[in-house]
């Protein structure tokens, strides 16, 4: 029997003692591990993020276990770490590397030093193709092949494409971090109800225009209900569900669907939503959403500047954003708003508009005894995105290669007191770096105005929640 290690790849080269975030379980990798086990493979999932395993320790663990196959994910932020990890594995094995960014990275991965170990790169669904790669029963011709390296695209035309995700299986014993206590101190588990995204954000690798070949797939309401019931049976003290995907709340119809799903349970729940989700949703329906147990929504606001929002393909109607989000806050639904400073061509004037929007929503939250939390980042270009190519075309390959050496942003981390998502690959804005950092800090500091202050709590307990 082949021995397989699936690794949720690390974020840091060295152990970061200040990194104490309640990380999310790698559900996609868990689905792949479940399928492998059903195919008779000896599989183990190592979550280097949740377990805070630094690079050298991970190499030591893997070298001791000596699996026949090593499956791992890669993305822009940890590209160099995964490359180094592959080079440090000196015994004979076989790598399978996946992740959405591989569509743009596979040629670079083909050139990695792997000590003559073969590498298969997979872009798209991995749960059906991975076992066949390991068992040497592959039913698809590689899209590209070079000296022991193969690249497979699992798109809607592939025999390995998962057309019906409502029936996917997930053995949650693979996870080391579920359930957790969320920021409101409720025991929480996580689900994913869709694959793909209908939106087209210029900074996002999952943008619809870049991934048309993969299609949009959503689980049926009954399958989501059954999954939630399974979690209740699995974790008797479960109090909350977090829905991780972008499409659970995407429009008025999906809001009604969510209300119908959660009315069967005495649970709190949190999910992603879009700033335009509630365009045609009545106050009465939002009230029903709250009554269904909706505790908090995670919303990518990104900017308060119409000019910046236009360039990244988000709604430029600031008043609409204020209206939609204010209605949620007034209904008693908390919001965690994501903001980004430092977009290409962004100015201090744009920064100010973003801060003013965040301050406005913080004030609305205060007035209604709820929380508006800000999670604020410095922009960095992700491989293959529209903004990545825009910077590349404007400044050339040498520039883009240099700036994409993503590194932990120690300066900003020291200023903010957080470590987990402070990475950078240069300043791309039309303003100076000090201004970018100043507005990140100012917007993050709005959390101190919340009734419940996660930052203050984190400083006492050395916990973070971003």
Tens-place pLDDT, residues 275-292: 999 999 999 999 999 999
> 400 — phi, psi (to 5°)?
-65, -35
Residue 202 in domain: no
Residue 261's pLDDT is: 97
27-62 burial code (b ≥16 CB/10 A, e <16): bbbbbbbbbbbebebebebbbbbbebbbbeebbeeb
> 239 — phi, psi (to 5°)?
-120, -20
Claim: this prediction has a pTM higher than 0.85? yes
- Among the candidates 100, 124, 154, a domain finishes at 154
Q: Are 212 and 243 in contact (CB under 8 A)?
A: no
Q: Is 38 helix (H, G, I), strand (E, B) or coil?
A: helix
Residue 261 in domain: yes
Residue 461's pLDDT is: 31
Q: Which domain holds residue 257?
A: 244-461
* One domain, residues 310 and 455: yes
CATH code: domain of residue 76? 3.40.50.280
Residue 459: pLDDT band with limits 50, 70, 90? very low
Residue 225 in domain: no
Residue 193 in domain: no
- Count of domains forming the chain: 2
CATH code: domain of residue 324? 3.30.750.200
* One domain, residues 273 and 127: no
> Residue 341: beta bridge partners?
378
Residue 229 in domain: no
Compute the residue count for the chain: 466
- Among the candidates 98, 127, 154, a domain finishes at 154
Please give the share of the chain, as a percent, with pLDDT higher than 70: 88
Residue 16 in domain: yes
Residue 428's pLDDT is: 84
Residue 160 in domain: no
Rounded CA-CA distance 365/335 in Å is 9
* One domain, residues 145 and 257: no
* One domain, residues 138 and 253: no
* One domain, residues 254 and 126: no
343, pLDDT greater than 70: yes
391, pLDDT greater than 80: no
Least confident of 136-145, 245-254, 279-288, 378-387: 378-387
- Among the candidates 154, 174, 208, a domain finishes at 154
* One domain, residues 9 and 135: yes
* One domain, residues 442 and 294: yes
Residue 237 in domain: no
Residue 393's pLDDT is: 75
65-75 burial code (b ≥16 CB/10 A, e <16): eebebbbbbbb
Residue 389: pLDDT band with limits 50, 70, 90? confident
Rounded CA-CA distance 6/50 in Å is 14
* One domain, residues 438 and 297: yes
* One domain, residues 138 and 26: yes
Question: Among 194-198, 224-228, 429-433, 455-459, which range has the highest average pLDDT?
Answer: 224-228
Chain-centroid distance of CA 147 in Å reads 33
* One domain, residues 248 and 147: no
Which residue's structure tokens are 């690249």?
151
Residue 252's pLDDT is: 94
């Amino acid at each position: 029997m082949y021995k397989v290690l699936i690794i949720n790849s690390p974020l840091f080269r060295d152990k970061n003692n200040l990194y104490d975030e309640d990380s999310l379980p790698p559900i996609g990798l868990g689905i792949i591990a479940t399928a492998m086990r059903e195919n008779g493979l000896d599989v183990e999932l190592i979550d280097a993020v949740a377990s805070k395993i630094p690079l050298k320790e991970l190499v030591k663990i893997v070298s001791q276990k000596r699996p026949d196959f090593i499956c791992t994910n890669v993305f822009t932020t940890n590209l160099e770490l995964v490359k180094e990890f592959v080079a440090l594995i000196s015994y004979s094995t076989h790598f399978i590397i996946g992740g959405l960014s591989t569509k743009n990275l596979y040629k670079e991965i083909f050139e990695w030093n792997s000590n003559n170990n073969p590498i298969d790169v997979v872009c798209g669904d991995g749960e059906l193709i991975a076992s066949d790669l390991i068992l040497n029963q592959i039913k698809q011709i590689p899209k590209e092949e070079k000296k022991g390296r193969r690249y497979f695209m699992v798109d809607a035309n592939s025999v390995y494409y998962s057309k019906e995700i409502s029936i996917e299986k997930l053995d949650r014993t693979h996870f080391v971090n579920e359930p957790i206590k969320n920021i409101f101190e409720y025991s929480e588990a996580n689900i994913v109800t869709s694959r793909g995204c209908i939106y087209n954000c210029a900074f996002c690798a999952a943008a619809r225009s870049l991934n048309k070949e993969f299609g949009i797939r959503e689980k049926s309401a009954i399958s989501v209900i059954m999954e939630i019931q399974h979690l209740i049976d699995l974790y008797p003290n479960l109090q909350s569900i977090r829905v991780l995907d972008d499409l659970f709340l995407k429009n008025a119809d999906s809001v009604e669907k969510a209300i119908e799903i959660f009315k069967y349970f005495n649970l709190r729940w949190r999910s992603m939503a879009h700033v335009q989700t509630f365009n045609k949703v009545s106050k009465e329906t939002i009230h029903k959403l709250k009554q269904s147990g909706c505790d908090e929504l995670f919303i990518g606001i990104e900017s308060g500047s119409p000019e910046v929002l236009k360039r990244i393909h988000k709604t430029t109607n600031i008043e609409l954003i204020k209206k939609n989000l204010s209605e949620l806050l007034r209904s008693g639904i908390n919001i965690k708003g994501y903001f980004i400073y430092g977009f290409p061509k962004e100015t201090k004037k744009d920064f100010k508009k973003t801060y003013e929007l965040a301050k406005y929503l913080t004030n609305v939250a205060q007035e209604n005894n709820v929380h508006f939390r800000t999670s604020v980042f410095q922009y960095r270009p992700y491989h293959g995105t529209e903004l990545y190519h825009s910077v590349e075309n404007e400044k050339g390959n040498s520039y883009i290669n240099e700036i994409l050496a993503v590194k932990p942003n120690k300066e900003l981390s020291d200023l903010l007191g957080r470590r987990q998502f402070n990475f950078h690959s240069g300043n791309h804005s039309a303003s100076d770096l000090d201004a970018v950092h100043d507005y990140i800090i100012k917007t993050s500091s709005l959390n101190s105005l919340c009734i419940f202050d996660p930052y203050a709590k984190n400083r006492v307990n050395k916990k973070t929640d971003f």
